[in-house]
C-alpha cells in the first residue's frame, strides 16, 4: 500500500532470502525489472520492488491482463508494473482517499490503463465488478501503514510526533485510536495490546491508561507514548526500540480491523485469480505473515485422503508456491531503506481453478 512500510520485525520461523526455481532471471523478466526502475526516485523506491516485478510480471504480459493492487498507497509498485507490462490494466484499491488522490496523480500517464476504487481490500470482488472485470491475472497486497501515513503527523500513526490519537487509514470511518484508548474496558484494551500489539506488558499499560483517563480524555500521541514508557519496567526500556511501538501497533490494528480484513481478503484475492494468475503478499509483522502463510499453504496441498491409492483430481493443489517460506529484503535494501527491514514476502501462482 505505497512506497515503504514500518512495522515490528516478523517472528516467523521460515523467513529467508532463498527462492524457488532457477536463481537466474530470464532475460525478458530482467529487462522488465530494469524498465520498471527507470525514472523512479531512488529515495522512494517501494519495498522489494525488483522481486515483486519479477514475480508478477510473467502473469501480466497478455493484452488486457489485470493487476489488482489492493493496497495502492502512492502507487509505487503499480507504476513499476505498468512500466514493465505495457499490455496490463490496473485496478487500484485503497481505503485511504488521500492515497487514491495521490496515486491517481502519479499514474496519470497511464490513465487509459487504470481504474481506482475506494474500498477495503477485503471487498476485492466488488472492486473488480466496479471496474468491469471478472477476474485478475495478478494481485498485490502490500499490508500495513504507508510512509505518507506515518509522515503526516496529523494522522496520529507515529509515536515520534505530537498529534491527535487518530490512526484511521480511512478517514471516513468513525472509530479512532482515541475512542479505543478512552472508551474500551480495561480487559478489552489489554486484549488489543497483547494480541494485536504482541505487548507482554499489556495489562500494566492498560491499567496505566485507565488511571490516566480517569482525569480526562487521553488524546495525544506524545502523551500516550510517555505513559507507555513509564508503565514499562525500566530495564525493558533500554532494549528493543521505542517502548510504545507495540502499543501503537496494537491500537492501529484494532482501529483499522486489519487482521479481520486480511482474513477475509486472502481467500477473496486467491479466488479472484484466473489459472496462471499470481499473488504477492508483503507483510510486516508476525501476525500478518502467519495468516498469509496459512492461507497459501492450505491451497498448495494435495488433500486426497491418505487411504486412497490414487490422487483425486478435485483434491489437487490449487496454487503453486513461488517463494520458499517468506523472503526478506536484501541487506543492501535494508541499508538504503530501514523501513523495509520488517518486510516478509510470500507469493503463489494459481494452477487449478477453485473447487466449487
User: Would the annotation count 156 as a binding residue?
Assistant: no
Radius of gyration of the chain (CA): 21
| Spatial contact of 345 and 323, defined as CB atoms under 8 Å apart | yes
248 phi/psi in degrees, rounded to 5:
-65, -35
Euclidean distance between CA atoms 291 and 289, whole angstroms: 5
- Residue 149, marked binder: yes
Alpha carbons 322 and 324: distance in angstroms, whole number: 7
Task: Name the 3-class secondary structure at 70.
Answer: coil
Counting Cβ atoms within 10 Å, is residue 172 exposed (0-12), middle (13-18) or buried (19+)?
A: exposed
Check the annotation: does 142 bind a ligand: yes
Closest CA to 33 of 49, 17, 9: 49
121 is in an annotated binding site: yes
240 is in an annotated binding site: no
Q: Which residue has the cell 500513526?
A: 157
- DSSP conformational letter for 291: H
Q: Which residues pair with 173 in a beta bridge?
A: none
Q: Checking phi first, is residue 39 left (phi over 0); if not, alpha (psi -120 to 50) or beta? A: left
Closest listed residue to residue 9, CA positions, set 287, 335, 354, 200: 287
Rounded (5°) CA angle 57-122-340: 55
- Would the annotation count 76 as a binding residue? yes
Is 94 flagged in the annotation as binding?
A: yes
SS3 173: coil
Q: Which residues are annotated as a binding site for S-adenosyl-L-methionine?
A: 75-77, 94, 121, 142, 149
Binding residues, by number, are: 75-77, 94, 121, 142, 149
Amino acid at each position: 500500500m505505497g512506497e515503504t512500510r514500518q512495522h515490528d520485525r516478523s517472528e516467523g520461523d521460515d523467513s529467508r532470502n532463498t527462492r524457488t526455481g532457477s536463481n537466474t532471471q530470464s532475460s525478458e523478466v530482467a529487462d522488465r525489472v530494469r524498465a520498471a526502475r527507470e525514472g523512479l526516485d531512488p529515495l522512494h523506491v517501494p519495498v522489494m520492488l525488483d522481486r515483486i516485478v519479477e514475480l508478477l510480471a510473467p502473469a501480466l504480459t497478455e493484452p488486457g491482463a489485470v493487476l489488482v493492487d489492493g493496497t495502492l498507497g502512492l502507487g509505487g509498485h503499480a507504476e513499476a508494473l505498468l512500466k514493465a507490462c505495457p499490455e496490463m490494466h490496473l485496478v487500484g484499491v485503497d481505503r485511504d482517499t488521500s492515497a487514491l488522490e495521490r496515486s491517481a496523480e502519479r499514474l496519470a500517464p497511464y490513465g487509459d490503463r487504470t481504474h481506482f476504487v475506494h474500498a477495503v481490500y477485503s471487498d476485492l470482488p466488488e472492486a473488480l465488478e466496479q471496474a468491469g472485470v471478472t477476474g485478475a491475472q495478478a494481485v498485490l497486497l502490500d499490508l500495513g501503514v504507508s510512509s505518507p501515513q506515518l509522515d503526516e503527523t496529523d494522522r496520529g500513526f507515529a509515536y515520534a510526533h505530537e498529534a491527535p490519537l487518530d490512526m484511521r487509514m480511512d478517514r471516513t470511518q468513525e472509530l479512532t485510536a482515541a475512542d479505543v484508548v478512552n472508551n474500551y474496558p480495561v480487559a478489552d484494551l489489554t486484549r488489543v495490546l497483547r494480541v494485536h500489539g504482541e505487548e507482554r506488558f499489556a495489562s500494566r499499560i492498560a491499567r496505566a491508561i485507565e488511571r490516566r483517563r480517569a482525569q480526562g480524555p487521553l488524546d495525544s500521541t506524545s502523551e500516550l507514548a510517555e505513559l507507555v514508557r513509564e508503565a514499562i519496567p525500566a530495564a525493558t526500556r533500554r532494549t528493543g526500540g521505542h517502548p510504545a511501538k507495540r502499543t501503537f501497533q496494537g491500537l492501529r490494528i484494532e482501529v483499522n480491523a486489519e487482521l479481520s480484513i486480511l482474513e477475509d481478503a486472502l481467500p477473496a484475492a486467491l479466488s479472484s485469480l484466473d489459472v496462471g494468475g499470481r499473488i504477492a503478499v508483503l507483510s510486516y509483522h508476525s501476525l500478518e505473515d502467519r495468516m498469509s502463510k496459512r492461507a497459501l499453504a492450505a491451497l498448495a496441498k494435495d488433500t486426497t485422503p491418505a487411504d486412497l491409492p490414487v490422487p483425486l483430481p478435485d483434491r489437487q493443489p490449487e496454487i503453486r508456491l513461488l517463494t520458499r517460506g517468506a523472503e526478506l529484503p536484501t541487506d543492501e535494501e535494508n541499508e538504503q531503506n530501514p523501513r523495509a527491514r520488517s518486510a516478509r514476502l510470500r507469493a503463489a501462482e494459481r494452477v487449478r481453478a477453485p473447487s466449487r
